[in-house]
Amino acid sequence: MRQNDLTLRPITGRDELDLFSALPYVLNDELAGDLDAGRRRPAWMWVALRGDRLLARAAWWSRAGSDTPFLLDVLDLDDGLPGAERVDIGERLVRAAMAAVVPDGSPPPEYTRYVPPGWRENAVTRTVVEDRMTVLERTGAKLLVERLRLEWRPESPVPQPSGRLTFRPVHDTGELVSLMTTVMDGTLDAHGRDELTRMSAHEAATRHYEDELARYRTPRDWWRIATLPGGEPVGFVIPAHNGYNPIIAYIAVLPAHRGRGYIDDILAEGTRVLAEQGVPRIRAATDVGNTPMAGAFARAGYVNYGRELNMTWS
């Protein structure tokens, strides 16, 4: 597709991966592996060219085997261009790519961007981030949430059990989905709160389970239900590996037991499960506004190494 002096198109295949990677971003090293694993497709990786020069790019990611994109996770501009021009080119690319990639009648997939922890404090970094946000805002996107990216490293002490709670495996899918439904009450998670404006708590929990947790290939006996000595469930934690890193995929305390510090015990258990596997790191994330959860990660030795911006379309 040509627009004036620009060519807007998907890459032809792996042979153009070097071209696509000419703009820097932290995900560049994962692109080839994602193509091999079926998490990306050349048709979902678009470029804006002027001659042979890459001026902008956009790419979608999905879980392996899916026919539809799940996230827009790459959007980059040539920051050597004048500000107004690069934003305009980015908008034209995104609109053209969305028309071809996003199924008719569906809202565009969520956008996610990894940024440094203090991205607002550096003028250059702030401009880079805000230009990309402006491109998407022009297409109707709004910021949903900013999240902390967290990491536990083996040199940190492995949290020890306090003895207040007992941990057991998940009995079955029904039990976990039931607990996931319960913890939606009063959730501080922006994605959860957004889902509750469009569906019931049970529907949101089921969708979360089926779209994410059920797809992890790591052992389900890593998953833990936390109980009081008498057997009453207090919360749960889902340690897993997402194909890139060991992660704390989901952690929660039931509403009736919040405010008693149980989150520390539950996170400690999830961390121990993964640490026992000899992992080089454990990754996790939580909303900037979820102060209790952020505090628990800090107490457990997790370091805030970055942030993540999530934007959505209505």
Are 236 and 123 in a shared domain? no
* Statement to judge: residues 133 and 172 lie in one domain: no
Segments forming the whole domain that contains residue 243? 166-312
- Residues 210 and 110 placed together within one structural domain of the fold: no
68 shares its domain with 34: yes
Question: In total, how many domains does the chain have?
Answer: 2
Q: Of the residues 99, 125, 140, which one is the last residue of a structural domain?
A: 140
91 and 201 inside one domain? no
**Residue 46 shares a structural domain with residue 90:** yes
153 in a domain, yes or no? no
CATH number, domain containing residue 248: 3.40.630.30
Is the domain of 183 the same as that of 302? Answer: yes
Say yes or no: 69 and 190 in one domain.
no
Question: pTM here?
Answer: 0.94
Do residue 215 and residue 299 come from a single domain? Answer: yes
Per-residue model confidence as pLDDT tens for the chain (314 residues): 666 789 999 999 999 999 999 999 999 999 999 999 999 999 999 999 999 999 999 999 999 888 999 999 999 999 999 999 999 999 999 999 999 999 998 999 999 999 999 999 999 999 999 999 999 999 999 999 999 999 999 999 988 889 999 999 999 999 999 999 999 999 999 999 999 999 999 999 999 999 999 999 999 999 999 999 999 999 999 999 999 999 999 999 999 999 999 999 999 999 999 999 999 999 999 999 999 999 999 999 999 999 999 999 98
Is residue 56 within 8 A of residue 64, CB to CB? The reply is no
Same structural domain, 170 and 290: yes
Q: For residue 238, is it within any domain?
A: yes
The burial class, CB within 10 Å (0-12 / 13-18 / 19+), for 142 is exposed
- 239 forms beta bridges with 248
Q: Are residues 11 and 128 in the same domain?
A: yes
